Structure 1
């Protein structure tokens, strides 16, 4: 049975014929995880685009946040003339965009001129890892838990105020508070309904541990579909907020005196319809299989080398503060929120929750990094360290996560594992992207500097 809001191409034909759908968005994510693409007249989409795809300028995977083309990429540059790549709609991702008028949305794979997946595209990178997993007989199921801040200011107002003096929807910490949640039901009730009707089934929404911070969780599924749901979810929340005169941010650390916003990744492997992590062995108090141990061992071992795929911005690293609910050290433990790797569930629900990624991550890259590391762990039968008991924040002997994007990028560039897992072309491409982000930050003069030095230096 088709999930509510998901469409077959035949169903889309019918909705177009009855003028219930007039526009189809075809989109993909850039490095930052932003959706970019085109709006296509629905009748043209069903006649042409659904069959032949469409084109977009290949500079879209070489730009910075301001959409300026960045020199130094091998894939596209001024010398090559910034040509096109081919957008191939993945019709399995076709769904109603319920928050928009008479609109559907489909996510696209990027093909290069030889009509093969463009290796540097985020969705392609995840698909490459999934193929490697499938070759070993496994499928991956996952979920990404997103946190965000909601403000009574519009995006335009926030911009005009230089993002100063914004008014969060809450005025005291509202973690799990039903009363504060009720105050935002005009927004959260609306987005829950829109997501449900857009093939993104919702589990819960709740207040979080920050002023105006919330979390809305959607149901787990296979990892590629989960990453698709993640980007549709973010687009829905931003566009609904915009339509209501609100603003929502997925910055990893919006303010130094407020909790960071995370993207906890939940992962389990499945084989022949059963959870491959479940088993009879007792390890750190967890009844598990050797596959669980090895996957966890690989994920933990290689996290420092693939950290930019979990924390891709300069801002992301400001989230890693002790006693902040964000992990600062590499450890695993059962149901312990101070650990970077929290094990939850049992039997068929047994899974690894990685609390390291921030809400600013690109889900395709984050899931790809997790799978690549875990897959290598299975191949090498990599054993994880002993389970940690107690407050991980206080365990100064444990290795820390990288403390800056620059440091993490250096580990990524030097990583033999990353080059093997993703290919040298992908590592070089994304290293350049992360280095460009670091350079942009290093040149910027911040409010912190003006406040500190303007008069008193």
Structure 2
């Protein structure tokens, strides 16, 4: 869509409601992704859907800017500054999907606007739409996919379903019937599942779904994450995308795969068959842009203090600014298929990251590389994580926020209002969490001293 939000007419609102009725839908969940990618919204009985679709569904306007504890943060411009005013949720008909574990219920993803018709620039879906629009103005579409890891534990005991580090062990993955049910539920929810495997942690899973074009890719990632959480709860399980829930065990990531294609022809512009690694000049510039702005993007790729407990050498979680062909230790891994599948994988983002903002930050950085014709340094030999000469990524949240604040080109791409909101909310989260006394400190000092 060219507009920041879908504009409904009486005809489109009527058609939207009629299509839902024909599919026996009785309730519709109007959902939006907040700053963290969490689903917020309202559930609407079918007889009121058409009216709310046409006129917009009122919701607290600061919902998109709530912090991780649902606290309205002062100074964002979305809360006390405007007397906690409402916004309007505008459903996007292209995003309707079933909620299979609830009878006759569907969801629709919404954009948000103020009552005077202005979009909310800090809304993550709007941020990504604006970046995709810029790519389109340059003549390019974006194909992308998010690859999530998460832990699954018994909801009552918080214990994993199995122990050890049995990565790719098929029998353990299928010991619990919930996985097979979840795969079916995700498919019924409109998420095209392609693979499932166990990861390094005890009952840590990785479920992959097909890449898609444009905003639809982030929409599917949003549905995926929220479906995993909500459905497994009905099975007596708790799924967590928390980046580093356990000391000494694997963290959970969101590897991000992306390529650009020419809108006029559909041709993958990352591919150059004459290059030894299949990398076109555009792919090299795009990669260079990601590396140049990686420190600033780190704040968005890893948006909580806990995320930085994962950023450690020799853990398959990149800790420096590097690239490599098929190198799992590099920040940017070139998937050198040398055919139409040629793409790159950004391995830095955490599982807790917002899929819309991960995509927006990566695309923004890559497009800056193209606009500035950035030069990609030659690949160095050997494992990139073992090379201490690479510039290090920020290893604390306040460091990445400082890098974001200093990167004016990157801020301009993402939008100054969004970056202001993000910085304000994340700074408040850091300060709030610092007030807690970690158990490790009490254990270390309380008795002995």
TM range (shorter): over 0.9
Counterpart CA distance in 2 for 1:222 and 1:116 is 26
Q: Which residue of 1 aligns with 2:319?
A: 328
Does residue 65 (structure 1) correspond to residue 60 (structure 2)? The answer is no
Is 2:202 the partner of 1:211?
yes
Of 422-431 and 374-383, the range deviating more from structure 2: 422-431
Deviations 1:53-107, CA, capped at 9 Å, x for gaps: 2111112134322222221222331x52101111110111111122322110000
| Match of residue 161 from structure 1 | none
Tell me the TM-score normalised to structure 1 length. Answer: 0.92
Paired residues for 1:209-358 under 5 Å? 209-271=200-262, 272-282=265-275, 285-344=276-335, 345-358=337-350
Distance of aligned partners of 1:220 and 1:62 in 2 relative to their CA distance in 1, 3 Å threshold: closer
Deviates more, 1:383-392 or 1:349-358: 383-392
What is the rounded CA distance, in whole Å, between the counterparts of 2:369 and 2:205 in structure 1? 34
Counterpart position of 2:55: 52
SS across alignment from 1:408: helix
CA distance in 2, matches of 1:15, 1:440: 43
Mapping of residues 138-153 of structure 1, within 5 Å: 138-152=140-154
Partners of 2:292 and 2:175 lie apart in 1 by 43
CA distance in 1, matches of 2:172, 2:33: 33
In the alignment, is the contact (CA less than 8 A) between 1:418 and 1:427 conserved in 2? no
Q: Distance in 2 between matches of 1:32 and 1:269?
A: 26
**SS state at 1:275 partner:** coil
8 A contact 1:56–1:84 mirrored in 2: yes
Distance 1:243 1:110 in 2: 30
Instruction: State the shift of 1:288 in Å.
Output: 2.1
* Whole-Å separation in 1 of the counterparts to 2:48 and 2:120: 25
Which string of whole-angstrom CA distances, capped at 9 and with x for unpartnered residues, describes residues 419-454 of structure 1? Answer: 221232222111111111211121111111111111
CA RMSD of aligned residues (A): 1.6
1:57·1:83 contact (CA, 8 Å) conserved in 2? yes
Does residue 200 of structure 2 align to residue 196 of structure 1? no
The equivalent of 1:16 in structure 2 is 21
Q: 1:406 aligns with which of 398, 401, 422?
A: 398
Q: CA 1:75–1:15 in 2, change beyond 3 Å: closer, same or farther?
A: closer
CA distance in 1, matches of 2:171, 2:63: 43
CA contact under 8 A between 1:148 and 1:213: conserved in structure 2?
yes
2:40 equivalent in structure 1: 36
Deviations 1:348-371 (A, max 9, x none): 000010000000000111100001
Aligned pair in 2 of structure 1 residues 290, 455: CA closer, same or farther (>3 Å)?
A: same
Partner SS state of residue 132, structure 2: helix
Match of 2:386 among 386, 394, 412: 394
Residues in 1 aligned to 2:132 and 2:117: alpha-carbon distance in whole angstroms: 20
Cα distance, 1:16 vs structure 2: 2.4
Matched-pair contact (CA < 8 Å) for 1:295–1:377: yes
Matched-pair contact (CA < 8 Å) for 2:272–2:278: yes
Superposed CA offset, 1:400-424 (max 9, x none)? 1110111100111122122221232
What residue is the counterpart of 2:376 in the other structure?
Answer: 384
Q: Does 1:104 align with 2:94?
A: no
1:286-307 per-position Cα deviation (integer Å, ceiling 9, x unaligned) = 1221111111110111111121
Shift of 1:17: 5.5
Give the match for residue 6 of structure 2: none
* Structure 1 runs not aligned, ≥5 long: 1-7, 159-165
Does the 8 Å contact 1:9/1:91 carry over to 2?
Answer: no
The residue number in structure 2 matching 1:3 is none
Of 429, 440, 448 in structure 2, the residue corresponding to residue 437 of structure 1 is 429
Partner secondary structure for residue 273 of structure 2: strand
Quote the Cα distance in structure 2 between the aligned partners of 1:66 and 1:317: 19
Alpha carbons 2:296, 2:407 under 8 Å: kept: yes
Aligned mates of 1:194, 1:102 — CA distance in 2: 14
Q: Distance in 2 between matches of 1:257 and 1:50?
A: 49
1:5 aligns with: none
- Structure 2 gaps of 5+ residues are 1-12
Matched, 1:375 2:375: no
Give the equivalent residue in structure 2 for 1:122.
Answer: 124
Following TM superposition, by how much is the alpha carbon of 1:196 offset from its aligned partner in structure 2, in angstroms? 1.0
Distance change (3 Å), C-alpha of 1:183 and 1:54: same
**Counterparts of 2:334 and 2:101, CA distance in 1:** 35
Residue 175 of structure 1, aligned match among 159, 167, 171 = 167
How far off its partner does 1:52 sit? 2.3
Distance 2:133 2:65 in 1: 26
Partner secondary structure for residue 371 of structure 2: helix
